[in-house]
Structures are given as structure tokens and as C-alpha cells.
Structure 1
Amino acid sequence: MIEFNQVSKVFAGKEAVRNLTLHIEKGSFTVLIGTSGSGKSTTLKMINRLVEHDSGEIRFAGEAIERMDARALRRRIGYAIQSIGLFPHWNVAKNIATVPALLGWPKAKINQRVEELLALLNLDTQLASRFPHQLSGGQQQRVGVARALAADPELLLMDEPFGALDPVNRQALQQEMLRIQKLSGRTVVLVTHDIDEALTLADQLVLMDGGEIVQQGRPVELLTQPANAFARDFFGRSELGVRLLALGRAGSAARRGEWLEGEPIAATLTLREALSQFIARRTDKLPVIDQQQQPLGVLHFSDLLRQRETN
């Protein structure tokens, strides 16, 4: 879907990105992570030409982006950012419909798409007539994501999209993005500085420093096989075990065919979250239910030790 080949970008005589080579597969959820100034946001913005690269080549769906019309390119790419950028004097429906309207979609098709996206992002249809200032921060961010998805883009770029949200809304929207990405098979590239968010969302993780890629691969590979001391220190040597637990799910580790009484936990809970439940409830076994609220099995405290092998 996206190829960077020896790409560099210079700002005021300083290289922000240096000889970057990166291939992003179609249908993947790729997360760019690193310290401030590592080049991750610049890398993201070069994909849709909000920032033009100085050397090397970037290809989108097999075509060099410098040979594409910038506006036509951007209409094939959804873009969601932390500040959201909703138009304050437009209601929710009109904000979501921004790109389809620019593309000349029929009104009936636009209305149908707005309804689909409100449902997809668990937003009440009554919100369609409200204005941004009448929404909570979490609702505004969901509308921003809906707008980015409105024209059914081939690629979705997200730059620190959940950074301004409180922990509860942030976690909820992360799960929504995972669900949407799995349902649609859409390619997503997200920038974050939050390690836990990156581990939750990524199937491909790209660690950057000083405008270069330090290491890339599956999250479990970066945690258990760090390429160097920077990668090892970035993810935290003392927190390795807990972060590995964040990669596993209760449903995958639960023992099928077993059941016990008590308040169940959801199969989608990470093993890290399950660990908190074990401690809070002072137990070594937890019942697990599936998405249909049906009994799935029992998670044993000892099963947390198996997660490294299952990831």
C-alpha cells in the first residue's frame, strides 16, 4: 500500500527524516512511535503530501506520489488528528459529509453514509443535527474519525488522534478503531508517543529516533528482541512483563469447557487488565464471557505466564 525508499526531509538545514525505507502492507494497522522530534509525524504527513519529501521516493498503491495530483491523492486518504478540526458552524452530519460533498456524491448517498458512520462509531443518530460545541470531547473525536472515513478512503492516517481524551474515552475509542479496522480491512497508519496505545493497536510497530527507523516488526518482537539499548530502554526494561501482558487477550488464554460462578470478565480484556482484576478480587480464577455475553471459559492466574508463547 505504501512504500518509502530512501526518503529524506530537511527543515532549516536539519534532517527530520533520514534515508527512511519502510513498506506498509495493505490491510495492516501500523503505528509509528518514538520520542518528540523522532520524525514520526513528518513521516506520516509525507504520505498525503502535507509535507513534501526532499529526496527518495514514496509510492502509494504502486504510484509515485509526486506524480499524483495532491488533492486527488488526499481524497483517497482519510486524515484524523488530535485537534479534530471540526467546522464549528456546521452540524455533525455536514461535518461528516465534508469530503463526499466535495466529491459530488448525491445527497441520498451522503445521508446514508452519515447514518452508517454514526452507527459504526456508536454515536446516537440524534447527534447528527448538533454542533461541535454541543458534544463531549469523546463524541467530537468520534465525529472526526467518522469524517475521515466518510468517503471510504483506501488509507486512514491518524496523528495522535486520542491524545486529548480522558483515559476512559481514549480506551473506548481505541477499541472502536480496532473493531472498525478489522471489519473493513482498511490500512491504518497511526502516530503516537503512548507506548501502551501503540501496543494495543499495532500489528506492525515502527520505532523511530533521530529521523531513522530503529526497529520495526510485531509488537512482541520489539518487546522481547530489542534491536539495541535504545529500543530496550524505550519500552522499559522493568515494565517488560506487564507490557507483554497487554498483547494477549483473556478470551485467547481462557480454558474452554470450564466455568465458575462470579462476575465474569470480557474476552476482549487484555491480560494486563485481567491481572488487575485478579489482584482486585484476590482470586486466581476468573470466568470469561464472549461478545454475545455467553460463557467462554475460565482464565487462571497461571495462564498469564503463557501469553509470551501465544503472541
Structure 2
Amino acid sequence: MIEFQQVSKTFDNWKAVDDLNLRLNAGDFTVLIGPSGSGKSTTLKMINRLVEHDSGRILFAGKEIRSFKEEDIRRRMGYAIQSIGLFPHWTVEQNIATVPALLKWPKARVAERVTELLTLLNLEPARYRQRYPHQLSGGQQQRVGVARALAADPEVLLMDEPFGALDPVTRSALQAEIARIHKASGKTIVLVTHDIDEALLLADRIVLLDKGRIAQVGTPFEILAHPASDFVTEFVGRSEVGIKLLGLDTVGARVRKGQSATGEPLPISATLREALSAFVARRASSLPVVDAQGQPVGALHFADLLDEQA
């Protein structure tokens, strides 16, 4: 889908990206992460030509990105950023419809798409479509920004620190929304973040960058369980690896089916990390587990959390 071949980018005397070789697969949720100055945002912006690469080749759908007109490639790639950038004097509907209007979609189709996206992002269409950005909370504005990026049904969604300025509760809710959208749509998503927990939560594959070069590429489990260097180990948090590994698996993977226990039940979809918090808070050695309909399925024991991760 997207491939970097020996790509470099220099700003003045600073090499932001240094001989990058990377393939981003269609349908994957890829997270670019690294410390400040690692080249992650530059890498993202080179994909849709907001930043032009100095050397090497970047391929999109098998073609060098410079063979596309800038406006054409940006219409095929939605772009959402932390600052949102909504037009303040346009309604929510007008903001979301920006690209479809440029593409001269029929008005009825645009209105239908706005309704679809507002519903997808849990913003009641009748309530929000005629509001202005200043009438929305930060989280609602960010949702509209994501809806605008998705409006023309792009092949790729690029996201640059989209949730960085939000409070933890709103951020968590939007992370869940993006994960749900990815699962439902199968879109190729590339997201930049500095937050390792966000990367572990969302990514199919993590690309960890350091000084413009790749430190490691792998699944969340591979990054945590098999770090390629001391830099990777320190970046993910040497003393927190065990806790983070628990966040990659669910209660359903360890539940003892058919067993019973007392206390407030755990949902089968909860992470083992969330289960650990529940055990500590309730001072319990076992807890009941229920399915999505609230029906009992078994029990989880505190000792089950201590099993070796395979």
C-alpha cells in the first residue's frame, strides 16, 4: 500500500529522516512512535506530500507519490491533526462536507454522508450538524475533525497526535472510537503518537523511530516481549513491561469457564490489566466473568494473571 525506499529528509542541518525503508500494509493500523525529534511526524507528512522527501522513493498503490497531483493524493488520504483546524464560521455539516463539496458530490449524497459519519462518531446528527465549532467541547470538535478526514471515504487515514490535547476520559473514548472504526471499515490507518500506551492499545504494528531511523518494527507483543535494543526497552518502560503485556490480552483468554465466584463481575472483553486493577480494588482472589449480554461464563482467578505470557 505505502512503501518507503531509502527515504531521507533534511531540514537545514538536521536529518529528520535518515535512509528509511518501511512498508505499510493495506488495512493495517500502523502507529509511528518515538521521542521528540525522532522523525515520526515528518514521516507521516511525507506520505501525503505535506512535506516533500529529499531522496529515495515513496510508493502509494505501487506508484511514486510524486506522479500524483498533490490535490489528488490528499483526496485519497484523510488527514486529522491535534489542532483539528475546523473552519470557525462553518457549521459542523459544512466542515465535514469540505472535501465532498470540492469533489462536487450531489447535495443529497453529502447530507447522507454527514449523517452517517456523525452517527458513526456518536454525535446525534439532528443535534450537532448545524452547530458551530465554538459550541462544541474539545472532544466533540476532535470527532468532527475525524469525520471530516473520513468524509470522502479515503483509502488511507493519516492522524498526527490527534488526541494529544484532550483530557484522559475523552482521549480514551476517542481511542475506542478509532479502534471501532478501523475494525468496521478495514481502512489503512497511520497514526503518530508519543504515548506508548496509546500505541499498544491501537496498533496492529508499531514503528519505533529514533533519530530518523527505525529502532524496531513489530506487533505490540513483539515490541514488549522481544525488544531489539536497550533503547526500545527503555522507551516502552523497562519496569512496566509485565503490566503492559497484561493490557494486550483479555479476560476471555484466561477465564475458567463454568466456574463461579462472588463479587461484581468482570466483562469478558476487559483487558487483563483492567482485571488486575479490579482485583486490587476489591481485594479478591477470584471474580465472576460475564459476556456482552451480562450472562455468567465463568470465573477469573488472580493467580491466572501471573501465568507466563506465551
Common fold, TM-score beyond 0.5?
yes
Cα–Cα, structure 1 residues 14 and 297, in superposed 2: closer, same or farther, change >3 Å? same
Structure 2 equivalent of residue 176 of structure 1: 177
What is the Cα deviation at residue 296 of structure 1? 3.8
Q: Could you give the per-residue CA deviations for residues 73-132 of structure 1, whole angstroms, max 9, x where no partner exists? A: 000001111111111111111111111111111111111111111111111221111111
Deviations, residues 153-181 of structure 1 (Å, cap 9, x unaligned): 10000000010111111111111111110
Per-residue CA shift, 1:22-47, capped at 9, x if unaligned?
00111101001100000000000000
- Which shifted more, 191-200 or 243-252? 243-252
Structure 2: how far apart are the matches of 1:226 and 1:174?
25
Paired position in structure 1 for 2:207:
206
Structure 1 spans left out of the alignment, 5+ residues: none
* Contact 1:5/1:56 (<8 A) preserved: yes
SS at structure 2 position matched to 1:308:
coil
Q: Are the structure 2 counterparts of residues 117 and 16 from structure 1 closer, same or farther at C-alpha, using a change threshold of 3 Å?
A: same
Q: Which residue of 1 aligns with 2:145?
A: 144
Alignment check: 8 A CA contact 1:244 1:307 kept:
no
Provide the residue aligned with 2:244 in structure 1: 243
Quick check: 1:38–1:208 contact (8 Å CA) kept in 2?
yes
Render the CA deviation track for 1:254-291: whole Å, top value 9, x for unaligned.
23333445322333322112211110011122233333
Question: 1:99, 1:151 within 8 Å by CA — same for their partners in 2?
Answer: yes
Letter in 2 for 1:141: Q
What's the secondary structure of 1:179's corresponding residue?
Answer: helix
CA RMSD after TM alignment? 1.4
1:270 is matched with which residue? 271
Partner in structure 1 of residue 91 of structure 2 = 91
The answer to whether residue 29 in structure 2 is matched with residue 29 in structure 1 is yes
Contact kept, 8 Å, 1:253 with 1:307, in 2: the verdict is no
Count matched residues. Answer: 309
AA partner of residue 262 (structure 1): G
Give the equivalent residue in structure 2 for 1:228: 229
Distance 2:299 2:110 in 1: 46
2: distance between equivalents of 1:92 and 1:259? 49
Cα distance change on mapping 1:237 and 1:50 into 2, 3 Å: same
Q: Secondary structure at the match of 2:256?
A: coil
Residue 48 of structure 1 pairs with residue 48 of structure 2: yes
Q: Deviations over 1:127-153 (max 9, x none)?
A: 111111111111111111111111111
1:215 aligned counterpart, secondary structure = strand
Distance in 2 of aligned mates of 1:21 and 1:229: 22
The structure-2 alpha-carbon separation of the partners of 1:97 and 1:266, relative to structure 1 and needing over 3 Å to count, comes to farther
Q: 1:107 is aligned with what amino acid?
A: K
- Matched residues in 2 for 1:253 and 1:176: separation? 26
Q: Which residue identity does 2:74 align to in structure 1?
A: R
| 5+ residue gaps, structure 2 | none
Determine the C-alpha separation between the residues in 2 that align with 1:260 and 1:225. 36
**In structure 1, what residue type is equivalent to 2:82?**
Q
1:39 aligns with 2:64: no
SS at match of 2:18: strand
| Gap change, CA 1:89 and 1:289, over 3 Å in 2 | farther
Cα distance, 1:307 vs structure 2: 6.8
Q: Which residue of 2 aligns with 1:130?
A: 131
User: Are residues 291 and 146 of structure 1, via their aligned partners in 2, closer, same or farther at CA, if it must alter by over 3 Å?
Assistant: farther
Cα distance in 1, alignment partners of residues 284 and 229 from structure 2: 38
Distance 2:110 2:292 in 1: 31
1:285-304 superposed matches below 5 A: 285-304=286-305
Q: 3-state DSSP class of the match of 2:23?
A: strand
Q: CA deviation at 1:235?
A: 1.1
Note if contact 1:2-1:59 (Cα within 8 Å) is conserved in structure 2: yes
User: Deviations 1:52-74 (Å, cap 9, x if unpaired)?
Assistant: 00000001111110111110000
- TM-score, normalised by the number of residues in structure 2: 0.96
One-letter code of the match for 1:226? P
Q: CA 1:264–1:155 in structure 2 vs 1: closer, same or farther (change >3 Å)?
A: same
